[in-house]
Structure 1
Amino acid sequence: MYYGALLQPWNNEGIVIRNEVPLDTHKMVLFAGGTGSGKTQSIITQLGLLIKEGVRDITLCDFKGIDFQFLNGYRKYYSGDFAFDGIMAFYEEFTQARHGGTVDKQHHILIVDEYPSLLTYFQTKDKADRTKRANDIMSAISEMLMLGRGLNYGVWISCQRASSSWFENGSRDNFQVICALGRLSKEQRQMLFSGEDFDANIRIYGPGTGLCLADGRELVEVQFPLISDLANWKEHIRQELMTSGELSTV
């Protein structure tokens, strides 16, 4: 598995050196970046790479219901309000695996797009409905971030700002790969890469370009490649996932 290519060799010499990070040991991934950062396309790129790695159990929760619509009909694609159901269904599978005491060799990946927006929405609804779905989501995500790796359950989160308030019990520290794309404020860099050394000059990154930190590795500048035929890439992902299970009945 790799997360983009190292920026400097690519820019200076035209040599592409992949930012290789093994999926077996790095299952918890955070993508951060504002509007126009290239975050969504980078995740779609990584989704295709998961397929190439042989991963077929992927639950994708697309709260906005826009960027991943191409997966509509896949039984583990959840959009809008159904994103809550997708997270809790994945959490139930994780809980069963944990209590069962056996480790499945297959990778199980949950991808939650625009996580803070999802939580904010359910926090508002919880006040009106007297429910606690936002708390349920945060508790489930926190537990899986802390305990999922050994059971081959991974959590990928996408957000514009990865505030610690969205992750209970300090669970944000359990991300093993952090990719921050696009323009990064000083506050964001300190939030995500505390303790890392930065150049005195603040670099402004373009879409699909930014910083990546993986456990046990140095902080690196990366660039995610542009997919020349995005429609074909999406269709390949869709076909591979659709053949892994029945169509959705929702």
Structure 2
Amino acid sequence: MKKYDNKVCVGIDYIKWHSYASKQDISIDLEQNIHTLISGMSGSGKSTSLLYYIIKLYFAFCSESLFIFADFKQDDQFKPLRSCKNYFAYKNCVNALDIVYEKMHLRQEGVDKSRTPIVLVFDEYVAFILSLEKKQKEEVMSKIGEILMLGRSLKVSLVLACQRPDASVFPQGSRVNFGVIIVLGSAIKSIYDMVLPKELTMDTNYKFDAGEGVILLQSRDLKFIKFPIVINNERLYEICQEALNGKCKIEAKPQS
């Protein structure tokens, strides 16, 4: 198995950039921060930042990984990904979850002894949950909760994006298992209250533009982050397509 890079730069320090025009990287540790929650209202830059985040993980894991994308809303921004073999839309999102859930249990049972990274990217997760009937909703939430609690040691990770990350859609307090929590755009206070520990206060006077916000690492390290402005959208989609088709053509890491 390829030894992947543990430290991955996912953005730059918002304050250093705006105050001093200094480009200081913000990195995550893939050994510690395996699950990611991205929150942002319409216009917050959530979709583009999500694609960029996929690319950063893909460059770290490359061919030693399985990326699966569940796109409930079917945002136009993800349209170039719809032909990918590991892309699942609307109600088929449950199939994406089932694939990842089954693979995790094969590892837990010892049938699959590999530990190559498996990444489930789920856009508009909360909206998907709200669309389900009660029984299926409980089943889906239970599976998400299991992956959040067991996935780290089995190298199975979630990247969930939504507008409001209510605790009610994460059973048994499983939301605390997100090692990375990102809130983009100028969110309302209640959003910060949902995901930030009580001892960490957030100044809501910041006027974040699209792709800017806060990132919380391991429930204690709060930073202000800015995702890069993507100039070459064609290249961005090309790399995401490679990730979702299981093809690794990239040798060098992307520049931040």
Q: TM-score over 0.5 for the alignment?
A: yes
Conservation of the 8 A alpha-carbon contact between 1:184 and 1:204: no
Identity %: 26
Counterparts of 2:204 and 2:74, CA distance in 1: 38
Corresponding residue to 2:50 among 29, 40, 43: 43
The Cα of 1:114 is off from its aligned counterpart by 0.1
Paired with 1:63 and 1:201, the residues of 2 have a C-alpha distance of 30
Deviations 1:23-66 (A, max 9, x none): 22211100001000111110100111122112430111001123
Q: Which runs of 5+ in 2 are unaligned?
A: 1-7, 249-256
Please state if 1:74 is matched with 2:74.
Answer: no
Q: 1:108 to 1:201 in 2, by over 3 A?
A: closer
Which of residues 39, 58, 70 in structure 1 aligns to 2:67?
58
Residues 1:7 and 2:14 are matched in the alignment: yes
* Alignment partner of 1:19 is 2:26: yes
1:146–1:171: 8 Å Cα contact kept in structure 2? yes
Deviation, 1:201, is: 6.0
**How many Å separate the matches in 2 of 1:213 and 1:13?**
22
Structure-2-length-normalised TM-score? 0.87
Once the two structures are superposed, residues 163-219 of structure 1 have per-residue CA deviations (whole angstroms, 9 ceiling, x without a partner) of: 000100000111000000111222211111122433666222111111100017521
Which residue of the partner structure matches residue 150 of structure 2? 147
SS of residue matched to 2:61 = coil
Q: Distance in 2 between matches of 1:133 and 1:86?
A: 14
- What is the root-mean-square deviation of aligned Cα atoms in Å? 1.9
CA distance in 1 between counterparts of 2:47 and 2:96 reads 19
For residue 243 of structure 1, report the CA deviation from its aligned partner: 4.8
**How much has 1:99 moved relative to structure 2?**
1.1
Structure 1's 73 and 148: CA in aligned 2 closer, same or farther, altered over 3 A? same
1:135 to 134, 138, 143: 138
Equivalent in the alignment of 1:177: 180
User: Could you say if the C-alpha distance between residues 105 and 88 of structure 1 is closer, same or farther in structure 2, counting changes exceeding 3 Å?
Assistant: closer
Deviation of residue 103 (structure 1)? 5.1
Deviation, 1:244, is: 3.4
Match of 1:34? 41
**Alignment TM-score, normalising by the size of structure 1:** 0.89
Q: Is the 8 A contact 1:31 1:178 kept in 2?
A: yes
Partner of 2:105: 95
Cα pair 2:87 2:244 within 8 Å, conserved: no
Alignment partner for residue 225 of structure 2, among 202, 222, 225? 222
Distance 1:142 1:41 in 2: 26
Aligned to 1:129: none
1:230-245 to 2 correspondences below 5 Å: 230-244=233-247
Contact 1:97 1:151 in 2 (8 A): yes
Shift of the 201–140 alpha-carbon distance from structure 1 to 2, 3 Å rule, reads: closer
> Which aligned pairs between 1:119-134 and structure 2 lie closer than 5 A?
119-123=129-133, 132-134=135-137
Structure 1 residue runs of 4 or more that deviate by more than 6 Å after TM superposition: none
How many correspondences in the alignment? 238
Equivalent residues of 1:84, 1:133 under 8 A apart:
no
Q: How many Å separate the matches in 2 of 1:47 and 1:99? A: 28
